[in-house]
Amino acid sequence: MQLFKDQVAKALAESIEALAGSAVLTAEDVSAMLEYPPDPAMGDLALPCFRLSKTLRRSPVQIAAQLSEQVSCPCVARIAAVNGYLNFYLSDDVLCDTVVGEILAKGEKYGAPTVGVGKEVVLDYSSPNLAKPFHIGHLGTTVIGHSLRKLHEFAGYHCTGINYVGDWGTQFGKLIVAYKKWGDREVVEQGGVDALVDLYVRINNAVAEDPALADEARAEFLKMEQGDEENLALWKWLVEKSIKANDEIYRQLGITFDSYKGESAYTDLMPAQVQKLRDMGLLKIDDGASIVDLEAYGMPPCLILKRDGSSLYPTRDIAAAVDRYDMYHYDKSIYVTSAGQSLHFKQWFKVVEMMGYPWADRLVHVPYGTVSINGAKLATRTGNVILLRDLFGAAIEKVSDIMEEKSPNMPNKAEVAEAVGVGAIVFYYLSNNRIRDINFIMEDALSFDGNTGPYVQYTYARTCSVLAKSCGKVTEGGMKVTAPEESALVKTLARFPEEVLSALESYEPSIITRYILDVAADYNRFYHNCPILTAEDEDVIRTRVRLTEAAKTVLGNAFELICLKKLEKI
């Protein structure tokens, strides 16, 4: 719709200049003032004229009435002045011909902005703590992060996806203590990450009864940081088992990363940043720990080193940010983590700024809400989690059962069941505003009724079916809009470029998810109410087939932005 907005704004700016006797507003100014009416009966675009009252020294009603007589624009069918608003009704034929023509011409590039061309973005997402299972709490950072990567790539940015795995820290000290006390190599080899979780839960329960074990775990981790060969060998083996367990989840989601550089990679780079803080006089000793005082910025101190000299998350994050800038020279470095870590990121972002790094303002934290299970907080330590492999497995099994009943002879049933089942979970999650807390209810996530992933995937498959049947039935010629459902669908398809920009600027994938639902609803309404291949008029058939092709293109482009797979048959 931006194209038509710009045309209307240009015509308006010229008419406003004629009323004022001089150029008082640019076309860009007017374009920013135009609104989308809440009700289609009020037009496709509207100018609230009260914003012009001071400039033109007239009432909004007078301004609207005068402009309605003066404005002329080829894409506008009629103009109505109503209570100080100037409502524009676009020409259906011009709109359809222009929008559908652009979609079919640009194809996979339709809706893609160019704001990122020549720019570099680094995205840190997923980044699970290793030696723990991939559970529903990891889904947010993983799918939100990958969607943001897709959005940035669509806008022309060169993106580097980093899985900054939690392969360092006191949790490994705990695991080493647990393994040395109760572990068995053969049991871990066979049980993989599940066996490690058993050890992790056991050591945490033991620490609750015997706090001295926590000191023992910290000591084992400190030995790792100091290069103890036995602990480092055990640590590498534990990390290897964890990464292997996660690979299958990433395969199901269709996600790959450019770098698996974890926290451990910065062990040798942290001392230089700590020394820089000392040399700048920013590091202070507080009760034996090394901190950066952030009281002047309304924040608690940022802890850099513990009393025993071991590192913490801020130490490693600062070293990683410096290393990534040296490597990628990024225009943006995006971190997708739980909103519970917002203070952590504010603190170390501020420390980086205080250290004088000129790229400090390029660091972006994208927070998301927490996930609970039936109101209970997730906790790996106690085992209160839903594992993603189990969740995906349940969804895939449900789809397989439905397919066996309704489409037993469908080819590639296993692949389709996986795409629909996993897609249902992803769509369910990304349908929510990212900052909103989610109370995860398995039944809702696996429901295929209503506004769900399977519904929109089925809509895409429906467009493919119509197009497959239309071969040889479409002739050359213009577009002819004869039904309100056609007009509504075109206007929704025309919104895609603006929705992409909005999602990109707000780091909000749910904007795309909700938009997909709008397209699916409008296409299905059009499909049910407007005969496509059986219409009597050849021009109408041509128009409706092209509309179907345009809907398929836009749905497909939007699916790519939220990690949803395109299926030609379901």
Q: CATH number of the domain at 24, please.
A: 3.30.1360.70
Decide if 421 is inside a domain: yes
Cβ neighbours of residue 323 closer than 8 Å, sequence gap 6 or more? 266, 269
The pLDDT tens digits for 143-179 are 999 999 999 999 999 999 999 988 877 888 999 999 9
Q: Residue 328: name the closest of 121, 132, 466 by CA.
A: 121
Decide if 226 is inside a domain: no
Note down the domain range covering 7: 2-90
Last residue of a domain, one of 53, 68, 90: 90
The pLDDT tens digits for 252-274 are 999 999 998 888 888 889 999 99
Decide if 523 is inside a domain: yes
Last residue of a domain, one of 38, 59, 90: 90
Map residue 155 onto helix, strand or coil: coil
CB 119 within 8 A of CB 374: no
Least confident of 17-31, 35-49, 77-91, 493-507: 17-31
CB 534 within 8 A of CB 169: no
- The region that residue 334 occupies, defined by phi over 0 for left and psi between -120 and 50 for alpha, beta otherwise, is beta
> Distance between CA 263 and CA 253 in Å, rounded?
24
Q: Residue 555: name the closest of 531, 507, 521 by CA.
A: 521
* Structure-block tokens of residue 12: 């308006």
Cβ neighbours of residue 327 closer than 8 Å, sequence gap 6 or more? none
> Distance between CA 147 and CA 107 in Å, rounded?
20
Q: Residue 44: name the closest of 98, 83, 8, 97 by CA.
A: 8
> Distance between CA 348 and CA 337 in Å, rounded?
14
Phi, psi (degrees; rounded to nearest 5) at 441: -120, 115
Decide if 345 is inside a domain: no
Least confident of 4-13, 25-34, 465-474, 512-521: 465-474
Average per-residue pLDDT in the chain?
91
pLDDT for res 384: 55
Least confident of 176-190, 328-342, 354-368: 176-190
How far does Cα 241 stand from its chain's mean position?
A: 29
Using H for helix, E for strand and C for coil, what is the string for 326-359? HHHCCCEEEEEEEHHHHHHHHHHHHHHHHCCCCC
pLDDT for res 230: 93
Strand segments, DSSP code E, in 70-131 are: 76-82, 85-90, 120-124
Decide if 191 is inside a domain: no
Q: CATH number of the domain at 454, please.
A: 1.10.730.10
First CA to last CA across the chain, in angstroms?
32
pLDDT for res 385: 67
What is the percentage of the chain residues whose pLDDT exceeds 70? Answer: 97
Decide if 517 is inside a domain: yes
pLDDT for res 484: 94
The pLDDT tens digits for 54-66 are 888 899 999 999 9
pLDDT for res 382: 46
Last residue of a domain, one of 90, 120, 142: 90
Decide if 180 is inside a domain: no
Band (pLDDT 50/70/90 cuts) for residue 191 is confident
CB 549 within 8 A of CB 460: no
Map residue 387 onto helix, strand or coil: strand
Decide if 535 is inside a domain: yes
Looking at the structure of the chain, the number of domains it has is 2
Strand segments, DSSP code E, in 307-461 are: 332-338, 363-368, 371-373, 376-377, 438-440
pLDDT for res 375: 63
> Distance between CA 178 and CA 213 in Å, rounded?
10
Question: Residue 116 pLDDT > 90, yes or no?
Answer: yes
